Amino acid sequence: MEPLEPLADPKTKRVLIVDDDSNIRSLLEMGAQREGFVTATAEDGAEAAKAIQEFHPDIIITDLMMPQQGGFELIRGLQGTDHGAVPIIIITARRLDESTKEMLRREGSVVQVLTKPLSLNIFAITLHRLLKTQPPASERSRGLNDRF
């Protein structure tokens, strides 16, 4: 049996968060930073496309429905570019059935579809799993439900 690859330090991974709701964007950014990730944010797909060129994210978290340019247009726009292989997590408030989620997972580099409200702990676990990083050793808050 081959030895397991050591997990990376989250400080070496860049997370781009794209959502038109500033409260959700801030919560996701706080959650990712609490886990040690380097973060950047954008309000919509057009702003995200510019940020991707400068920030070079290791993963993109995007809402699906946004004014101007939505997440679906962002995903389509990345296909065939230097950043087309960056994993994407879609986070949406829309209730999606499993067949719709499966269809979205076949788009570009979509690796996960999560529905709001989302536990920040689930968000953190998903980031660490997909980026193969070691969660920080600090004890988690057991107070609030950590939902947005």
Q: Which CATH superfamily does the domain covering 10-131 fall into? A: Response regulator (3.40.50.2300)
Query: pLDDT, tens digit, for every residue of 93-137?
Result: 877 777 776 777 777 798 988 888 888 999 999 999 999 999 988
Residue recorded with tokens 């991707």 = 52
Q: How confident is the model at residue 48 (pLDDT cuts 50, 70, 90)?
A: very high
| pTM for the full predicted model | 0.86
- Residue 143 pLDDT > 50: no
Contact 22, 145 (CB under 8 A): no
Query: Which phi and psi (to 5°) does residue 139 adopt?
Result: -70, 135
Which ranges constitute the DSSP H helices of the chain?
A: 22-34, 45-55, 71-78, 98-105, 120-131
For position 130, what pLDDT does the model report?
Answer: 95
**Tell me, what's the pLDDT at 138?**
63
What is the percent of the chain where pLDDT is above 70? 90
* 113 contacts: CB under 8 Å, gap ≥ 6: 89, 90, 92, 96, 101, 104, 105
The mean of the pLDDT values for the chain is: 86
Domain residue extents for the chain: 10-131
- Mean pLDDT, residues 11-34: 96
**Beta sheet of 110-115, edge-to-edge order:** 38-42, 14-18, 59-63, 88-92, 110-115
